[in-house]
Amino acid sequence: MITYALKRLAIAVPTLLLLIVISFLLMHSAPGGPFTSERELPPEVLANLNAKYGLDQPLWRQIATYVWSIVSDFDFGPSFVYKDRSVNEIIAQGFPITLTYGLLSFAVAVVVGVSLGVAAAIRHNSALDYIAVGVSIGAQVLPNFVMAPILVLVFTLWLGWLPGGGWQGPEYWIMPVIALSTSFMASIARITRSSMLEVLTSNHIRTARAKGLPERRVILRHALKPAMLPVISYLGPAFVAMITGSVVVDIYFSTGGIGKAFVDSALNRDYAVMMGVTILIGALTIFFNLMVDLLYGWIDPKIRY
């Protein structure tokens, strides 16, 4: 298993490199540049800017310089738009915020989603099942860009319980977590429910029940673990999606997180920030996909690496 993990990590390096080159080329092929503005800059001003940020160099050299400064100094360069800051600083400020609400949302989504799914499967076709299915479908079809303004309307304007946005302490975390976790929670609940239903009709559960094991033990010990396989394959990418932020959460709750910065960097042609966040998300995706695959091996002994 260790060899397998090492092999996967070795493949990750060329994968990331490919990601960098492709993103770099795609980004530069988009019309307009970081200094395109309503007020077209005089050529001499534009020349100074391009010289400062190395945009006057041939593209291959820009890529090479960029990759080299990452490898040698772990320096992702200066932002072309937020000129007082480097990409490292922008990520260092925004990512911890995103990570905080992302991890919390993940925890909420998994705990509530799995509980709801399991409960619905055990009490199949009961009122509890219908409620759980109803809740999860409702949560799924309510997009977070609709839910976010409603949350602020209710909890900030009407009830006055929570601040409407910002990032100053735990009371600021609640609405972003609700908004971000709901649809993930719904998906987890539905996947858990159907997977659990399938497992509960399988032979080893019938055997366990025939042995006279208490139902509690049957569920927790014998059913839950195999039922988690499809959930976990969903959780890997979902986890990365959550901790790398949501532009909707950042926009509606003014968190200052990385999701908004990512979308802005694309719209602003802030090449450096866009590359930095792309690499961050790429690296996290590769890493957590590997984690998921390793977890598979642990959960299902039939899977061998």
Partner 1 sequence: MKMFKTLATSALALSFALQAQAADVPDDVTLAEDQTYTFWLLDAIKSMDPQINTDVEGSDVLRNLFEGLYNENGNGELVPGVALDHEVSEDGKTYTFNLREDAKWSSGEPVTAQDFVYAWRRLANPATASEYAWYMELMQVENASAVVAGEMEPDQLGVTAVDEHTLEVRITNPLPYFPQMLVHASTFPVPQSVIEANGDDWTDVGTLVGNGAYTLTTHQLGERVVMDKNDTYWDSENTVIEQLTALTINDVNQALTRYLAGELDRVDIPAGQYPRLKEEYPDQAVSTPYNCSYIYMLNVGEKGPEALKDVRVRKALAYAIDRDIIVDRILQGGQRGAYNWTHWAIADFERPELDWADDMDQAQRVERAKELMAEAGYGPDNPLDLTLQYNTSEDHKKIAIAASQMLKQINVNVTLDNYEWKIHTDRMQNQDFDMARYAWCGDYNEASTYLDLMTSYSGHNNGEFFNDAYDQVMQDSKTAEDPLPLYQEAETILAEEMPIIPIYHYANVDMISDDIAGLPENNVNNTWYGKDIYRVAE
User: Which parts of 10-29 interact with partner 1 (CB under 8 A)?
Assistant: none
Give the shortest CB-280-to-partner 1 separation in angstroms.
Answer: 16
* Residue that has been written with the tokens 């090479």 in this structure: 64
Q: Which one of 30-38, 69-77, 100-108, 177-185 is the stretch in contact with partner 1 (CB under 8 A)?
A: 30-38
Interaction with partner 1 in 82-101: which residues (CB under 8 A)?
Answer: 82-86, 90, 93-94
Binding residues for partner 1, rule CB under 8 A, total: 54
Is there binding between residue 160 and partner 1 (CB under 8 A)? yes
- Mark 261-300 with x for binding to partner 1 (rule: CB under 8 A) and - for no binding: x--x--xxx-------------------------------
DSSP assignment of the chain: -HHHHHHHHHHHHHHHHHHHHHHHHHHHHSSS-TT--SSPPPHHHHHHHHHHTTTTS-HHHHHHHHHHHHHHH----B-SSSTTSBHHHHHHHHHHHHHHHHHHHHHHHHHHHHHHHHHHHHTTTSHHHHHHHHHHHHHHHS-HHHHHHHHIIIIIIIS--S-SS--SSGGGTHHHHHHHHHHHHHHHHHHHHHHHHHHHTSHHHHHHHHTT--HHHIIIIIIHHHHHHHHHHHHHHHHHHHHT--HHHHHHH----HHHHHHHHHHHT-HHHHHHHHHHHHHHHHHHHHHHHHHHHHH-TT---
Question: Using CB under 8 A, which of the segments 13-21, 119-127, 221-229, 248-256 binds partner 1?
Answer: 248-256
Q: Are the CB atoms for 160 and 114 separated by under 8 Å?
A: no
190 belongs to the binding site for partner 1 (CB under 8 A): no
36 binds partner 1 (CB under 8 A): yes
User: Which of these segments, 36-44, 194-202, 215-223, 227-235, binds partner 1 (CB under 8 A)?
Assistant: 36-44
Which residue in 3, 37, 72, 125 binds partner 1 (CB under 8 A)?
A: 37
- 254 lines the binding site for partner 1 (CB under 8 A): yes
SS3 of residue 38 by DSSP:
coil
- Interface with partner 1, residue 41, by CB under 8 A: yes
Among 17, 26, 48, 69, binds partner 1 (CB under 8 A): 48
Q: Least Å distance between CB 218 and partner 1?
A: 48
153 binds partner 1 (CB under 8 A): yes
Contact pick of 26, 40, 65, 107 for partner 1 (by CB under 8 A):
40
What is the nearest approach in angstroms of partner 1 to the Cβ of residue 211?
57
Name the residue nearer to partner 1 (CB basis): 15 or 93.
Answer: 93
Sign of the dihedral defined by the CA atoms of residues 57, 62, 66, 68, in that order: negative
* Cβ atoms 275, 27 nearer than 8 A: yes
Q: Which residues bind partner 1 (CB under 8 A)?
A: 30-33, 35-42, 44-45, 48-49, 51-53, 78, 81-86, 90, 93-94, 148-149, 152-153, 156-157, 160, 163-167, 250-252, 254-257, 260-261, 264, 267-269
